[in-house]
Structure 1
Amino acid sequence: MRLEKKVIIVTGSCTGIGKAIAKRCVAEGGRVVIHGLEPELGQEVVQELGPANAVLHIEDLATEGVAERLVAVAVKAFGRLDAVVNNAALVLSSNLHTTDLTFFRRMLDVNTLAPFALIKAALPQLKQNRGCVLNIGSVNGWSGEPDLMAYSVSKGALMTLTRNLGDTLHREDGVRVNQINPGWVITENEARRKHEQGLAEDWYKDVPPVFAPSGRILWPAEIAAAAVYWLADESGPISGQIVDLEQYPFIGRNPPKN
């Protein structure tokens, strides 16, 4: 049991990568705070994991005071808090011409400022328990697709936050902060988005080799398996690190041959 007795907040865990991480945490002996915007889906996750292992909190991360309430839920339900997984994110298409300041601010509020607020609110508990933070970014944070401009900027800012706090909090408070950047992952929401963009319902079964050299894209459970290492004590003193989880090098990739 790599996470035995650890209590972990996983934002955005009613579906997708967050749900997979929460399930893997419980399988490894941990207890989790499930969070999201979908009460019915969240209740299903809690029922699957068991009320002794999971508790649900439904609230928009951009709401004032939500970070403090998430920490309070963890401490009330389980008596402590050992780790935070900042997974929740808005994934919306936009470019220079379609992005206004209201849209951009909303993206930064959820994808960058909410993780900052939760780390700050959780710090007393994390410091007391020699805990850690795992931020879930995106390979798009390095540059981004043409129509993921605001999203990519928010994830690039998250990487800088991870580097900065991974140094300062580790030295000053004994709290490690790291980040994993998933590539293309087949989640419920991603399947729906691509279908809405005109692709066939089973589009993920025939992804071009340029995007999926292995013949498929990533599964949420594969991201969850990697997340456990950073949440467990076995990652030791490592902090301030950014790790890409993709099936090809995102930066400096050799262009495909025609």
Structure 2
Amino acid sequence: MQNDLLKDKVIIVTGAFGGIGLAIAKACLNAGAQVLLHGRSERNLADALGYLDGGDRVEPFVGDVTRDNFATDLVEATVRRFGRINGIVNNAAYVVSSNVNDTTLALFREVLEVNSLAPFSIIQSALPHLAETKGAVVNIGSVNAYAGEPGLLAYSVSKGALMTLTRNLGDSLHRDFGIRVNQLNVGWVLTEKEQERKVGHGLPADWYTLISPMYAPARRLLDPMEVANSAVLWLSDSLGPVSGQAVELEQHPIIGRNPEKNLDALDIE
């Protein structure tokens, strides 16, 4: 879908060599932006660049978000290539199964480093540039931020921390610098990694067609590009001064839902 919502804006997208991040990068390009495309390793870089077909409007950047000086290097690379920063999408995430029994402190710290601290560091490093352009930040969160699944303990807590960061900075940075900070709490999305994960759990290759309507009333999961289109809207100037908000992208209410207790509520797992 072509539009001009981000015409001539420079957007950083982390975790963007695949999945939701790559879809967001594509949507930003379609909306007229220039994109700093970040990924952890070069393994999927060639495929990502081929899919985007963005020419000189795309600049790749490879690096681990937890390494020292990562945020500074990312920001400097963006400004060196494009001259400014209008928006940041903090999408890079560490999704790992863990529960109260097997979550070590080392694992917990690693998840928090990737999912909570790295986004803060990137925003902090980019602050002067975002202030200059009156830019926008979109943090990609999860509906797990509200409590989460027992088997996603560390991940859920990290997304809750990210949501508080969003609300806190969305207030202070908007008031002091004119920078909007918002978050998309994403529900169940059919990405290539989710497909690999579920098949790895022993589910059939077409598992996503068998999900109960209790979990997917539309009889399908969200598509990455549907998340991406929402991210573009929140990066744009279309929503005016809205800041400090966490918006759920899900098919049903997250808070207060009390579904019928019948066989349709059974999970396919």
TM-score relative to the length of structure 1 = 0.98
Q: How does 1:106-117 map to 2 (within 5 A)?
A: 106-117=110-121
Could you give the per-residue CA deviations for residues 65-113 of structure 1, whole angstroms, max 9, x where no partner exists?
1111111111111111111100010000001101010000000000000
Alignment of 1:62 with 2:75, yes or no, is no
Alignment of 1:141 with 2:145, yes or no, is yes
SS of the equivalent of 1:234 reads: coil
How far, CA to CA, are the matches of 1:20 and 1:38 in structure 2?
Answer: 18
How much has 1:202 moved relative to structure 2? 1.8
Could you give the per-residue CA deviations for residues 155-181 of structure 1, whole angstroms, max 9, x where no partner exists?
000000000000000011111100010
- Find the counterpart in structure 1 of residue 267 from structure 2: none
Which one of the candidate residues 142, 153, 162 is aligned to 2:166?
Answer: 162
Alignment of 1:202 with 2:201, yes or no, is no
Q: How does 1:37-52 map to 2 (within 5 A)?
A: 37-47=40-50, 48-52=52-56
- Find the counterpart in structure 2 of residue 15 from structure 1: 18
Which sections of structure 1, spanning at least 5 residues, go unmatched?
none
How far, CA to CA, are the matches of 1:49 and 1:39 in structure 2?
Answer: 17
How much has 1:257 moved relative to structure 2? 4.4
How much has 1:207 moved relative to structure 2? 1.2
Which sections of structure 2, spanning at least 5 residues, go unmatched?
263-269
How far, CA to CA, are the matches of 1:83 and 1:67 in structure 2?
Answer: 14
Query: In structure 1, what residue type is equivalent to 2:46?
Result: Q
Alignment of 1:188 with 2:192, yes or no, is yes
Q: Is the 8 A contact 1:8 1:32 kept in 2?
A: yes
How far, CA to CA, are the matches of 1:211 and 1:38 in structure 2?
Answer: 33
| Stretch of structure 1 that moved more, 198-207 or 236-245 | 198-207
How far, CA to CA, are the matches of 1:228 and 1:50 in structure 2?
Answer: 16
| Stretch of structure 1 that moved more, 57-66 or 247-256 | 247-256
Query: In structure 2, what residue type is equivalent to 1:62?
Result: T
How far, CA to CA, are the matches of 1:151 and 1:205 in structure 2?
Answer: 26
Q: Is the 8 A contact 2:40 2:65 kept in 1?
A: no
Query: In structure 2, what residue type is equivalent to 1:16?
Result: G
- Find the counterpart in structure 1 of residue 222 from structure 2: 218
Which one of the candidate residues 86, 89, 95 is aligned to 2:93?
Answer: 89
How far, CA to CA, are the matches of 1:192 and 1:124 in structure 2?
Answer: 40
| Identity of matched residues, % | 53
- Find the counterpart in structure 2 of residue 53 from structure 1: 57
SS of the equivalent of 2:148 reads: coil
How far, CA to CA, are the matches of 1:132 and 1:227 in structure 2?
Answer: 11
How far, CA to CA, are the matches of 1:213 and 1:105 in structure 2?
Answer: 36
How much has 1:40 moved relative to structure 2? 3.8
Alignment of 1:33 with 2:36, yes or no, is yes
Count how many residue pairs are aligned between Structure 1 and Structure 2.
258
Could you give the per-residue CA deviations for residues 202-229 of structure 1, whole angstroms, max 9, x where no partner exists?
2112211111111011010000111111
- Find the counterpart in structure 1 of residue 135 from structure 2: 131
SS of the equivalent of 2:59 reads: strand
How much has 1:39 moved relative to structure 2? 1.1
Q: Is the 8 A contact 1:26 1:49 kept in 2?
A: no
How much has 1:256 moved relative to structure 2? 2.8
How far, CA to CA, are the matches of 1:134 and 1:7 in structure 2?
Answer: 14
Q: Is the 8 A contact 1:43 1:56 kept in 2?
A: no
Query: In structure 1, what residue type is equivalent to 2:47?
Result: E
How far, CA to CA, are the matches of 2:46 and 2:8 in structure 1?
Answer: 22
How far, CA to CA, are the matches of 1:73 and 1:200 in structure 2?
Answer: 43
How far, CA to CA, are the matches of 2:91 and 2:102 in structure 1?
Answer: 25
